[in-house]
Amino acid sequence: MNKRAIVRKIIAKLTDDMALSLKAARTAHEEATHEESKAEDKYDTRGLEAAYLAGGQARQAAETEKAIAAYESLALQKFTAKDPIDLTALVELELDDERTFYFLGPVSGGLEFTHEGKQVLVITPQAPLGQNLTGKKQGDKLKMKIGGLPVEYRVVSVK
Protein backbone atom coordinates (compact mmCIF):
# COMPACT_ATOMS: atom_id res chain seq x y z
CA MET A 1 0.00 0.00 0.00
CA ASN A 2 1.21 3.49 -0.88
CA LYS A 3 1.51 5.53 2.34
CA ARG A 4 1.47 8.86 0.48
CA ALA A 5 -1.92 7.90 -0.93
CA ILE A 6 -3.05 6.94 2.56
CA VAL A 7 -2.02 10.33 3.95
CA ARG A 8 -3.84 12.05 1.07
CA LYS A 9 -6.99 10.09 1.98
CA ILE A 10 -6.62 11.07 5.63
CA ILE A 11 -6.25 14.75 4.66
CA ALA A 12 -9.28 14.52 2.32
CA LYS A 13 -11.40 12.94 5.08
CA LEU A 14 -10.28 15.57 7.58
CA THR A 15 -11.01 18.34 5.06
CA ASP A 16 -14.54 16.98 4.60
CA ASP A 17 -14.97 16.79 8.38
CA MET A 18 -13.77 20.38 8.78
CA ALA A 19 -16.17 21.64 6.11
CA LEU A 20 -19.02 19.86 7.89
CA SER A 21 -18.01 21.37 11.26
CA LEU A 22 -17.80 24.85 9.76
CA LYS A 23 -21.22 24.48 8.15
CA ALA A 24 -22.69 23.28 11.44
CA ALA A 25 -21.05 26.20 13.28
CA ARG A 26 -22.52 28.71 10.80
CA THR A 27 -25.98 27.13 11.09
CA ALA A 28 -25.82 27.15 14.91
CA HIS A 29 -24.58 30.76 14.89
CA GLU A 30 -27.46 31.80 12.65
CA GLU A 31 -29.86 30.03 15.01
CA ALA A 32 -28.31 31.74 18.03
CA THR A 33 -28.57 35.21 16.51
CA HIS A 34 -31.95 34.78 14.81
CA GLU A 35 -34.73 37.01 16.09
CA GLU A 36 -36.90 34.00 16.94
CA SER A 37 -34.20 32.68 19.28
CA LYS A 38 -34.49 35.73 21.52
CA ALA A 39 -35.41 34.59 25.03
CA GLU A 40 -39.06 35.03 25.87
CA ASP A 41 -38.42 34.63 29.60
CA LYS A 42 -35.53 33.78 31.93
CA TYR A 43 -36.03 30.04 31.37
CA ASP A 44 -35.86 30.21 27.58
CA THR A 45 -32.29 29.17 26.67
CA ARG A 46 -32.64 28.27 22.99
CA GLY A 47 -30.38 31.10 21.82
CA LEU A 48 -27.78 30.40 24.49
CA GLU A 49 -27.73 26.69 23.66
CA ALA A 50 -27.30 27.45 19.97
CA ALA A 51 -24.42 29.81 20.79
CA TYR A 52 -22.67 27.09 22.84
CA LEU A 53 -23.18 24.65 19.99
CA ALA A 54 -21.74 27.13 17.47
CA GLY A 55 -18.68 27.63 19.68
CA GLY A 56 -18.14 23.90 20.03
CA GLN A 57 -18.44 23.34 16.28
CA ALA A 58 -15.97 26.16 15.61
CA ARG A 59 -13.48 24.64 18.08
CA GLN A 60 -13.91 21.24 16.38
CA ALA A 61 -13.18 22.83 13.00
CA ALA A 62 -10.04 24.50 14.42
CA GLU A 63 -8.81 21.17 15.85
CA THR A 64 -9.43 19.48 12.52
CA GLU A 65 -7.50 22.26 10.77
CA LYS A 66 -4.53 21.57 13.08
CA ALA A 67 -4.78 17.84 12.28
CA ILE A 68 -4.72 18.61 8.55
CA ALA A 69 -1.57 20.72 9.04
CA ALA A 70 0.04 17.88 11.02
CA TYR A 71 -0.58 15.41 8.18
CA GLU A 72 0.50 17.86 5.48
CA SER A 73 3.89 18.28 7.19
CA LEU A 74 4.28 14.61 8.13
CA ALA A 75 7.56 13.02 7.08
CA LEU A 76 6.84 9.42 6.10
CA GLN A 77 9.29 6.76 7.23
CA LYS A 78 10.04 3.61 5.28
CA PHE A 79 10.02 0.50 7.43
CA THR A 80 11.60 -2.89 6.84
CA ALA A 81 10.86 -6.17 8.63
CA LYS A 82 13.69 -5.36 11.07
CA ASP A 83 12.62 -1.80 11.92
CA PRO A 84 10.63 -1.14 15.10
CA ILE A 85 7.13 0.24 14.63
CA ASP A 86 6.92 3.99 15.06
CA LEU A 87 5.00 7.00 13.79
CA THR A 88 3.88 6.70 10.12
CA ALA A 89 4.07 2.91 10.13
CA LEU A 90 1.39 1.04 8.22
CA VAL A 91 0.89 -2.12 10.24
CA GLU A 92 -0.92 -5.29 9.24
CA LEU A 93 -2.07 -7.34 12.23
CA GLU A 94 -3.55 -10.80 12.38
CA LEU A 95 -6.00 -11.98 15.02
CA ASP A 96 -7.72 -15.35 14.65
CA ASP A 97 -6.89 -15.56 10.91
CA GLU A 98 -8.38 -12.10 10.30
CA ARG A 99 -6.07 -9.33 9.09
CA THR A 100 -6.50 -5.65 9.85
CA PHE A 101 -4.54 -2.55 8.81
CA TYR A 102 -3.54 0.36 11.04
CA PHE A 103 -1.75 3.60 10.23
CA LEU A 104 0.15 5.06 13.18
CA GLY A 105 -0.52 8.78 12.84
CA PRO A 106 0.21 11.81 15.02
CA VAL A 107 -3.48 12.74 15.54
CA SER A 108 -7.02 11.83 14.50
CA GLY A 109 -7.09 8.35 15.96
CA GLY A 110 -10.28 6.51 15.09
CA LEU A 111 -10.45 7.84 11.55
CA GLU A 112 -11.35 4.94 9.27
CA PHE A 113 -11.32 4.68 5.49
CA THR A 114 -10.94 2.20 2.65
CA HIS A 115 -7.71 2.05 0.67
CA GLU A 116 -7.06 -0.45 -2.12
CA GLY A 117 -10.09 -2.43 -0.98
CA LYS A 118 -8.89 -2.72 2.62
CA GLN A 119 -10.18 -0.96 5.72
CA VAL A 120 -7.49 1.16 7.40
CA LEU A 121 -7.84 2.61 10.89
CA VAL A 122 -5.72 5.52 12.09
CA ILE A 123 -4.35 5.03 15.59
CA THR A 124 -2.07 7.29 17.59
CA PRO A 125 0.92 6.37 19.76
CA GLN A 126 -1.14 7.42 22.80
CA ALA A 127 -3.90 4.86 22.14
CA PRO A 128 -3.57 1.52 23.93
CA LEU A 129 -2.97 -0.35 20.66
CA GLY A 130 -0.53 2.33 19.50
CA GLN A 131 1.39 2.11 22.78
CA ASN A 132 1.61 -1.67 22.52
CA LEU A 133 2.64 -1.61 18.85
CA THR A 134 5.38 1.00 19.21
CA GLY A 135 8.75 -0.75 19.20
CA LYS A 136 7.42 -4.10 17.96
CA LYS A 137 8.70 -5.58 14.69
CA GLN A 138 7.32 -7.72 11.91
CA GLY A 139 6.66 -11.23 13.22
CA ASP A 140 6.30 -10.13 16.86
CA LYS A 141 3.29 -11.10 18.92
CA LEU A 142 1.34 -8.57 20.87
CA LYS A 143 -0.77 -9.52 23.90
CA MET A 144 -3.52 -7.18 25.03
CA LYS A 145 -6.84 -7.21 26.82
CA ILE A 146 -9.86 -6.02 24.88
CA GLY A 147 -13.10 -5.78 26.80
CA GLY A 148 -11.39 -7.62 29.65
CA LEU A 149 -10.54 -10.59 27.43
CA PRO A 150 -6.97 -11.49 26.46
CA VAL A 151 -6.15 -11.36 22.75
CA GLU A 152 -2.93 -12.04 20.88
CA TYR A 153 -2.13 -10.22 17.66
CA ARG A 154 0.66 -11.12 15.29
CA VAL A 155 2.43 -8.35 13.39
CA VAL A 156 2.21 -9.57 9.79
CA SER A 157 3.88 -6.63 8.08
CA VAL A 158 5.20 -3.13 8.70
CA LYS A 159 5.55 -0.63 5.88
Condensed to tens digits (0 to 9), the pLDDT of residues 57-102 reads 889 999 999 999 999 999 999 999 999 999 999 999 999 999 999 9
Q: Could you report the per-residue pLDDT of 16-68, keeping only the tens digit for each? A: 999 998 888 888 777 767 677 666 777 667 777 877 887 888 899 999 999 99
Q: Could you report the per-residue pLDDT of 122-136, keeping only the tens digit for each? A: 999 999 999 999 999
Burial category of 155 from C-beta neighbours within 10 Å (exposed 0-12, middle 13-18, buried 19 and up): buried
CA–CA gap between residue 67 and residue 19 (Å, rounded): 13
Is there a domain that residue 85 lies in?
no
Is there a domain that residue 41 lies in?
yes
- Cβ–Cβ under 8 Å, residues 124 and 67: no
Range of the domain at 48: 3-72
CA–CA gap between residue 93 and residue 85 (Å, rounded): 12
CA–CA gap between residue 114 and residue 120 (Å, rounded): 6
Residue 145 sits in the same domain as residue 111: yes
For the chain, what is the domain count? 2
Residue 67 sits in the same domain as residue 8: yes
